[in-house]
Amino acid sequence: MEIKKNQSGDSLVVEIIGRLDAATAPQLEKELNSSLEGIKTLTLDFSQLEYVASAGLRVLLVAQKRMNKQGSMTIKNVSDEVKEVLDMTGFISFLNIED
């Protein structure tokens, strides 16, 4: 997995490339924990995310809870495959997903 970050003021865009699973979720969690201080708007770009597993979902849940307290989080460019996982797990009901 590769992570690209682009910060502008109190807005952060994080692009996730590859697979978000048990092996890579700790990397994303570490990146988000070190990057979210003072961030009001977090955008996760899933345009190149191929797969998400339960460990990745947990990272998304933690990020969403944190951003609910300090601003907002949006997920954009979600593939049909990833959207299906988010739908089946119920995550689609509380994540802000833009088409």
The fold for domain 2-98 equals: Transcription Regulator spoIIAA (3.30.750)
Predicted local distance difference test score (pLDDT) of residue 21: 97
What average pLDDT score do residues 4-13 get? 97
State the pTM of this model: 0.95
Residue 42 and residue 14 in contact, taking contact as beta carbons nearer than 8 Å: yes
Would the CA dihedral through 25, 18, 89, 42 be positive or negative?
Answer: positive
What average pLDDT score do residues 12-38 get? 97
Q: What is the pLDDT of residues 35-89, one digit of tens each?
A: 999 999 999 999 999 999 999 999 999 999 999 999 999 999 999 999 999 999 9
Predicted local distance difference test score (pLDDT) of residue 99: 78
What average pLDDT score do residues 17-38 get? 97
